[in-house]
Chain A
């Protein structure tokens, strides 16, 4: 199994630009999570999908952030417009469980730098 796949691995962009991060969960997993990791705030859950439906997006920082899961094998996290404070590592994770008690499998992350 290839594990959770994220692209790109690194993204450098200028303030005001649109950024799209992509995630392919492990086949057969029905839960998908987007996290953001920074030195100041640690690992934060942004949004959680179950069976392609967003269940909890209370962690999405503001309207500039949006996430979609059009099918079971693909999800995107979009930031528009991006700001320097969005610089972080963004992780996607998937699991088999409708609740998080099962193991979450993390992708390698996308390191976003907004100049």
Chain B
């Protein structure tokens, strides 16, 4: 399967702990996006990369959130000192330029 891969699929963590998610985009896709989706809502933009450069970060992303794409391939999203409000599905997508975005299966985070 050469689609977008996200790990882990599910993560349960205690409030205050740090978590890190990984996204492997479709190879040769230069753009990578992170979105957050809560039940009954559309995906909310968090940040995106063009190759290894993080070009924009949403105001939704507090300073507890950080994302990297060190070699322009896979990306990680870290949440420090998790809060219950961080519970959501975290979606990664990749695209080649302005063409359609392909989404991964997402990582479902539950903060207890």
A, B co-complexed? no
Binding site for A on B (CB under 8 A): none
